[in-house]
Structure 1
Amino acid sequence: MLLCLALCLGAVQVAMQQIRLSGAAATAARMIGRGDDAAAVLSRSGATSFDSVGKGGLRCVRLSADTSVAGIGALGVSLTARACAIDERTNVNLSQESGE
C-alpha cells in the first residue's frame, strides 16, 4: 500500500516536472524567435540538454532533463519537451522584401 502511494506521488512529481520543462521550452522558443537571450530561462529549467533549430520561419527548441524524483530518476527516466515559435527576425525580412 505504501509503495503504491509512493509511486503515485512520484508520477505526479514527474508530470509537474514535464509541465515546467514544456513551459520553459515554449518561453525559450519565443525569446530566441525575437532575438533575445534565453540563457536565464534555460538555466532555471533544469534542462540537461538544449537544441535550437530554425526551419520555415519557425524557431524550434528541444529541452531534455533527467527526472529529479527520487526512485524514478534512478531508473534512468528522462523527459523531453519541444516547442516552436515564429522566428520574428526571419518574418520581418520576408515582409520587408514583399513590400508590406
Structure 2
Amino acid sequence: MPALFLVLALCLGAVSLLGQQLRLSDAAADAARAAGRGDDGARVLALVARAVPGAGLGLERRGEFVCAELSSDASFGPAGFGLRLTASSCALAGGL
C-alpha cells in the first residue's frame, strides 16, 4: 500500500511539473511577442510575472528575432528537489 501511494504521488507531481512547464512556455512566447512588438522591458516583465510569479526573464536579439528565455524553480514537493524549469521562444522583431 505505501508503494501505491508513492507511485500516485509521483504521478501527480509529474502532472504538476508538466503544467508548470506549459505555463512557462506560454509565458515565454507571450514575452517574445511583446518584446518583438517593441513593448518596454517593464511591461514584458509584468506580463511574465502575472503568468508565472517568480520566473526569471532574459531577452536577447538574434538577428531579426527577439528571443525570451524564462526560468523558474519547480514547485514539486519540498523545495522542488532542486529542479529548475526553463523555456524559450523567439518572435520576429517589429512584428504586430
Q: TM-score range by the shorter chain?
A: 0.7 to 0.9
TM-score of the superposition, structure 2-length normalised?
Answer: 0.84
Q: How many residues align?
A: 88
- Amino acid in structure 2 at the alignment position of 1:22: S
Partners of 1:50 and 1:39 in 2: how far apart? 7
Looking at CA atoms only, which structure, 1 or 2, has the larger radius of gyration? Answer: 1
1:4 aligns with 2:7: yes
TM-score, structure 1 normalization: 0.81
Partner of 1:79: 85
Which ranges in structure 1 are unaligned for 5 or more consecutive residues?
90-100
Deviation at 1:55, TM superposition (A): 1.2
Matching of residue 88 in structure 1 with residue 94 in structure 2: yes
Counterpart in 2 of 1:92?
A: none
1:55 counterpart (56, 62, 70): 62
The separation in 2 between residues aligned to 1:86 and 1:77, in whole angstroms, is 31
Identity %: 44
Contiguous gaps of at least 5 residues in structure 2: none
Supply the RMSD in Å over aligned alpha carbons: 1.5
